[in-house]
Amino acid sequence: MLWNLVIKEIREMLTLSTMATILIVTVIFAAMGGLVNLTKGETTKKPVIAVLNLEKPEAALAKTAVSTLREHCEILYEGRDDSEALRRLRAHARGVALVEIPEGFDARLENSQKVKIGVTWIMRGAGTLDTISSAVMERHFTAMERAVSRELVRRRSAGLDEKTAANVVQPIERVENTFFKEKLIPMLSPARIAQVLAAQSITVPIVMMIILMLGGSVVVSSMGLEKENKTLETLLTLPVDRRTLVLGKLLGSAVVGLIMAAVFAVGFRYYLQNFEAPAESLVALGLDLGPGDYLLVVISLFASLLFGLAFSLLLGVLARDYKSAQMLTYALLVLAIFPMMVVMLKDFDTVPKALQIVLFAIPFSHPMMAMRQLALENTAFVLWGILYGLLASAALTAMVVRVFRSEILITGFARRARQNHD
């Protein structure tokens, strides 16, 4: 009986057009991930530049400047012909900048005068990703300046070795340790730790929200379709317990929602992995999760999903048709987005007490927070969250069964009931 209902839900909701939509969105995310990956590749490749060297060939400081640039960049042209330099640079697909070392470069530096080197950028687009190469070049210019400064220091202090000269140019270096919750993490800044934990703070909440949204919208739509297609009355007069009807709808929608979410999550994961630190960093930090932890995350997700589906079914009862059902999914969206935003920006422990209560009360928050809490060995928090999620789901499901046993599904609310009856 239950399986019959589940299969019907899957057949009704998992249509080719629904899957095609999800697949298209998945491909778009994967393509965006590919684009980001491509740009990341650009940052690791040597930028292509041309050097217009107007200084004498024997000038040592100019030589140091050019050789430092050569270490970090691919020099397409080095000479005195500016139009040839520009022509070659513009013809190259990755040409970034024309660097001009002026005449008298060494002499001015030796006389403690400032030297202006000219940089003519080749700007190929105004997008954020288009300007990455110029940002990379900034680092190489700093390296060039330091190399020239070291050389100058060595010249002025006879007998100074290269290492000491480097220390004079850059006398201070930071060694960062971070005390995070109960753990002292050596050699890392909070920003770097946050980057390592990006999987917990960004990926999990977003994927969780996607699962909830897709699963929830399937349930709400299923109820909306039952009403729009006038199949609900028939369903309610079949010799089947109303609990089984509710369970069939929940399970069927959960299966469809999970299939859709799994397809979507693949694309989204591919997109996000470009921003994350590798998993071994978590091991190095002592923040990695064991199999038992992952099991708790799955149980937490299950409890939360169950609540989301029951909540959606309750929303579906209010829907008049498919269109209004779609509108009602916004209520679910708000409940899922709120904890997602908070968890992405702050830790549970660092938000004000009132917000902690709200966050704990929304069952969707718990799987979003579970991974990080488990990484910090706060297992009790996760267990309480699971217990709360399961109790809330049971209470809500009982409420839905009660509604299914009442006549509200047929009459709606009083205003509509007057129009409905004959």
Partner 1 sequence: MSESSPILLDLHDVSKRFARRQAVSGISLSIRENEIFGLVGPNGAGKTTTLRMVATLLKPDSGRITLCGVDAIARPDEVRRFLSYLPEDAGVYRNLTGRQYLRFIARFFGDARQAEEIAKFGAHLSGLEARLDDRVSTYSKGMTRKLVIARALMAQPKLAILDEPASGLDLISALAVRERIREAAAHGSVLLSSHNLFEVETLCHRVALVHEGRIAACGTPAELRQDTGTDSLEKAFLALLDRRRT
For residue 112, give the DSSP letter.
Answer: T
1 binds partner 1 (CB under 8 A): yes
DSSP state of 84: H
Residue 71 binds to partner 1 (criterion: CB under 8 A): no
Q: How many residues bind partner 1 (CB under 8 A)?
A: 32
Return the residue of 238, 283, 295, 395 that touches partner 1, per CB under 8 A: 238
| Minimum gap (Å) between residue 325 Cβ and partner 1 | 15
User: Around Cβ 57, how many Cβ atoms within 10 Å?
Assistant: 7
**Rounded to whole angstroms, how far apart are CA atoms 407 and 404?**
7
| 153 in contact with partner 1 (CB under 8 A) | no
**Binder to partner 1 among 239, 290, 291, 352 (CB under 8 A)?**
239
- Alpha-carbon separation of residue 313 from 34, 41, 200, 220, 394 (angstroms): 38, 46, 29, 6, 13
Considering the complex, state which of residue 142 and residue 420 has its C-beta at the smaller distance from partner 1. Answer: 420
Residue whose entry in the numeric block shows the structure tokens 């965006």: 32
Q: How many CB atoms lie within 10 A of CB 250?
A: 25
End-to-end CA distance of the chain: 33
Q: Which is nearer to partner 1, 359 or 409 (CB)?
A: 409
Q: Which is nearer to partner 1, 111 or 234 (CB)?
A: 234
State the minimum distance, in angstroms, from the CB of residue 4 to partner 1. Answer: 4
Q: Is 387 in the site for partner 1 (CB under 8 A)?
A: no
Residue (128 or 234) nearer to partner 1, CB: 234
Which residues, in sequence order, are bridge partners of residue 101? 53
Minimum distance between the CB of residue 407 and partner 1, rounded to whole angstroms? Answer: 5
CA dihedral 71, 77, 78, 83 (to 10 degrees): -140
Chosen residue from 75, 236, 337, 403 binding partner 1 by CB under 8 A? 236
Q: Quick check: helix, strand or coil at residue 405?
A: helix
Lookup result for tokens 């009856």:
421
Q: Among 71, 233, 280, 349, which residue sits at the site for partner 1 (rule: CB under 8 A)? A: 233
Q: Is 355 exposed, middle or buried (0-12, 13-18, 19+ CB in 10 A)?
A: middle
Nearest approach, Cβ of 40 to partner 1 (angstroms)? 43
β-strand pairing of 48-53 with 74-79: parallel
411 binds partner 1 (CB under 8 A): yes
Site for partner 1 in 200-229 (CB under 8 A): 225, 228-229
Selected from 114, 116, 353, 415, the binder of partner 1 by CB under 8 A is 415
Question: How crowded is the C-beta side of 403, counted as CA atoms within 13 Å?
Answer: 21
- Which of 237, 334, 350, 352 contacts partner 1 by CB under 8 A? 237
- Under 8 Å CB-to-CB from 14, ≥6 apart: which residues? 256, 259, 260
> Rule CB under 8 A: which of 6-25 touch partner 1?
7-8, 11-13, 15
Binding segment toward partner 1, per CB under 8 A, in 141-149, 175-183, 236-244, 249-257: 236-244
243 touches 400 (CB < 8 A) = no
> Which residues contact partner 1 by CB under 8 A?
1, 4, 7-8, 11-13, 15, 225, 228-231, 233-234, 236-242, 407, 410-411, 414-415, 417-418, 420-422
